[in-house]
Copies of this chain bind each other. A is one copy, B any other.
Amino acid sequence: MNIVIIGTGNVATVLGKKLVSAGHHIVQVVGRNVAPAGQLATMLGSTSVNTLSAINKNAPFYLIAVNDSAIANVAKQLSLPGSIVVHTAASVSKKILKSISKQYGVFYPLQALNKEKTEIPEMPVYVDAVNEETLEILIDLGKTISENVSQASDEDRLKLHVAAVFCNNFTNHLLALAENYCKQENLNFELFKPLIKETATKVMDASPAKVQTGPAVRHDQLTIQKHLEILNAYPSTQKLYKLITESIQSHYS
């Protein structure tokens, strides 16, 4: 498939690479900033332009991979009748694209994409479209880069995003809090990395609810009290410690 990519961030870059290695051709990269657009185009064996008015209008497929908040503005400036146009956002309705073309939809990779990484992780893809014909094309495209392609409506995708926030953004923040605390307390955060890795590895083949351990689930109030005292110097971390402990204790009571 010949594809125009709009955007130069993490999603644009990683999806671009993945699509190219699946045999697709990126006919153009559109990015406001000259340098990143040029770099991404070079990486994908393509060319770049820096304004939406200079977009190649003859492609069959347009992938809008810009910030959620920028999609509406991009949509306003495009008219691509006869082409398929998708965005990649979890929590934005597909309808935001309806003025661009009659064949619009969403191509949402359920993964934390990072353009700095050389190894591209496995990514389930959720697609949605305004009609069956477009949906089938999106499913076929998805299957060229992922073993797991499913349909998810706007509402489903929003629901998926909530779970993704817990699995990725929130767990990462707990690690960031732990890292910050380790720095302050002169503890070597590096030595927690095997534990972090094992925590994720463990749930690859076990339900997280079945492998919950720690002072909270065993109602070890003595240890919890000692931990809360240590966290006196970290009020917001302490507040989270309390609330997550309560959540664990009510979840397993």
Q: What is A's interface to B at a CB cutoff of 8 Å?
A: 67-69, 91, 110-112, 114, 117, 121-124, 148, 150, 156, 158-182, 185, 187-189, 191-204, 207-209, 211-218, 220, 223, 226-227, 230-231, 236-237, 239-241, 243-244, 246-248, 250-251
Contacts and interface: CB of A to CB of B under 8 A. Distances in A.
Copies held by the complex: 2
Closest 6 CB pairs of A and B: A169-B214, A200-B200, A175-B208, A176-B208, A166-B178, A122-B194
A73 to B, nearest CB: 15
Contact of A165 (B188, B215, B236): B215
Given A203-B175, A236-B247, A247-B236, A211 B163 contact: no
A195 B236 contact: no
Contact of A69 (B194, B220, B244): B220
A239 B122 CA distance: 31
A200 B202 contact: no
B172 A112 contact: no
